[in-house]
Amino acid sequence: MSSVGSGDEAGKKFDEQQGTCIKTLDKLKQSQYESIRKYAESQSQYLKELRAYYVSAVNYLKSREGSMPKVPRSKGGYLGKDINSKISDAGASISDAKRELRQVLRAKASGSSLSDD
């Protein structure tokens, strides 16, 4: 961003470079999946904060007034972490169901009756 003359120019440059990403995140906000919607919203917010940071940083470097703005931190989690968590939970649930089915089948095969029948 060293070739950028003002904060407004930095904002425009950011919009040019991140425009496709921002549009994609806007589409993902409409997803049927909650985890994807949350991820898209979080990343959109982060990009807004990042853009504001660049504008403020360039303005600060030009004027040297006030203090250097703080770099924003992404608050969004890694999408894969959420998905992996759900897959692990589903896997555990399937394992529990298989174990219960085996118990039922063994009980039926041995002729015993189950209390939940």
Considering only CA atoms, give the Rg of the chain: 26
Q: Say how many domains are in the chain.
A: 2
82 and 67 share one domain: no
The whole-number average pLDDT for the span 101-110 is 85
56 and 90 share one domain: no
57 and 17 share one domain: yes
72 and 87 share one domain: no
> Do 51 and 11 meet the contact criterion of CB atoms below 8 Å apart?
yes
115 and 65 share one domain: no
90 and 115 share one domain: yes
Query: Residue 96 corresponds to which tokens in the numbers above?
Result: 């529990």
- Greatest mean pLDDT range, 26-30, 61-65, 73-77, 87-91: 26-30
1 and 41 share one domain: yes
The whole-number average pLDDT for the span 1-26 is 86
Q: What is the pTM of this model?
A: 0.61
Write down the pLDDT at residue 4: 60
Instruction: Return d(Cα 53, Cα 36) in angstroms, integer.
Output: 25
Q: What is the DSSP letter of 66?
A: S
Residues of the domain holding 93: 78-117
112 and 61 share one domain: no
Write down the pLDDT at residue 25: 93
34 and 86 share one domain: no
